[in-house]
Amino acid sequence: MTETTNGSNVNGERPPAMNGTAASEVDQYKAGKKVICVSLPHLSAKPVKTMGSTPEEFLPTVQKAALSWVNYAAPDLEVDGAKVAAMFGFSESMISGLLKGYYASFEDREVELGIMIPAVRVTGSKLNVFPLIVLVKKNLILTIHSMEVVRLVQFSRYADSYLTKLPDVMPQEDKLTMMLVRIIDENNTRNFEQLRGIEELSDSLSETLVDPTTPRGEIGKQIYGVKHSLITYLNTLWRTLDVINSLRYGDADVITDNTKVLAKVGLLADDLNRQIELSEHMSEVLASGLEVLQSLYNNQLQVLNNRMSLTMTWLTILGTAVLVPNTLATIFGFVFGLDVLEIIWTMSVITMSTIAATALAWWWVKKRVKLPKKADEA
């Protein structure tokens, strides 16, 4: 996981502090340990956290445990994810059904619950969305995501401590709901951090627009890229909010009915609403900034047009100043020495040609251009 200048890695995940267990977990993940398992063998027991390369290693542990959380980074989410889900006792069609959703989906099948929420990652000038699958049944929460995105690193660091803090007398549905809320909250937090990447893209775009030498075709592509990233990000927030509302107001058997625990789901919805408001405000700021820059650009064009008009005006004045004495000199050059009839004939030709040329110019302009009757008429 290579760190970038803003302190986050290229996978959209802020690296954990490199001390003790946290450092060893990151090293194991980089070494190919794709599975994290935290299980509670039985009530009042100490939770056990292990990492491995294949989900099969943890199947016996999960089957005997009172409560477990397994996180799996799948090479192929649809194929490998479906196999792992079936291995741990979930319906084979659960993964394919969830992946049909638009960024997010929710499926309640009485004894099991399936959720897909988006995992957002900004890389360079592109925003990518990856599905995070969360499957829940009586004694297990299974999270599956693509290897292209890192998720739930922070929760994996203290998941065993989190299980220890849950009272033994707490109903199983309450424990499952509490862990599910914590998992969704961490994913939402990681997604929200990606908004900084979009802000950096907007700032880079503003700098590009200020530069008058930037090609206009390139600017159009950059403007579209920033707007598309922001709209996609807003779509992920809205879809996540739909899933949370389904979780909050639905009646899934594996989810608690305890109003105090469900209130934590309501807090997730409130946080998402605030994130949506902030993102929409950013969209308005971006739009207003682009309008201001476009106005500046139009003003530059207007200034250039005014300079051209001023130049043409002075050229017209200079041309007129030269044309009048030149015409007089031409006339006087051959008029003197002519008799009266020749002078009358010459002036008649000049007058008739002037009238004919003026009439022809007026007819051509009137045919080609619709002239207004008043100066202020559109």
Cβ proximity of 114 and 36 under 8 Å: no
User: If we measure between CA atoms, which residue out of 367, 328, 67, 11 comes closest to residue 190?
Assistant: 11
Confidence at residue 377, expressed as pLDDT on a 0 to 100 scale: 52
Q: Is the pLDDT of residue 115 over 90?
A: yes
- Which two three-digit tokens encode residue 96? 């394919």
Q: How many C-alpha atoms does 219 have within 13 Å on its Cβ side?
A: 15
- pLDDT above 90 for 118: yes
Output 18 or 326, whichever has higher pLDDT. Answer: 326
pLDDT at 328: 61
Res. 23: pLDDT tops 50: no
Quickly state the pLDDT bin for 378 (edges 50, 70, 90).
Answer: low
Confidence check: pLDDT of 292 > 80: no
Residue 180 has pLDDT above 50, yes or no: yes
pLDDT digits (tens, 9 = 90+) for 120-129: 988 877 888 9
Phi-psi region of 68 (alpha: psi -120 to 50; beta: other; left: phi over 0): beta
32 falls in which pLDDT band (50, 70, 90)?
Answer: low
Q: Burial level of 145, CB count in 10 A (0-12/13-18/19+)?
A: buried
- Higher pLDDT: 206 or 30? It is 206
pLDDT at residue 371, rounded to an integer: 56
Instruction: Check residue 8 and give its pLDDT.
Output: 40
For residue 217, count CB atoms less than 10 angstroms from its CB and return exposed for 0-12, middle for 13-18, buried for 19 or more.
exposed
CB 151 within 8 A of CB 13: yes
Q: Which two tokens stand for residue 89?
A: 């006792």
pLDDT on residue 291: 64
Render pLDDT for 39-77 as a digit per residue (tens, 0 to 9): 988 877 788 888 888 889 899 889 889 899 999 998 888
Give me the pLDDT at residue 2, please: 32
State residue 1's pLDDT score.
32
Confidence of residue 316 (pLDDT cuts 50, 70, 90): low
Per-residue model confidence (pLDDT) at position 101: 86
- The pLDDT confidence band at residue 12, using thresholds 50, 70 and 90, is very low
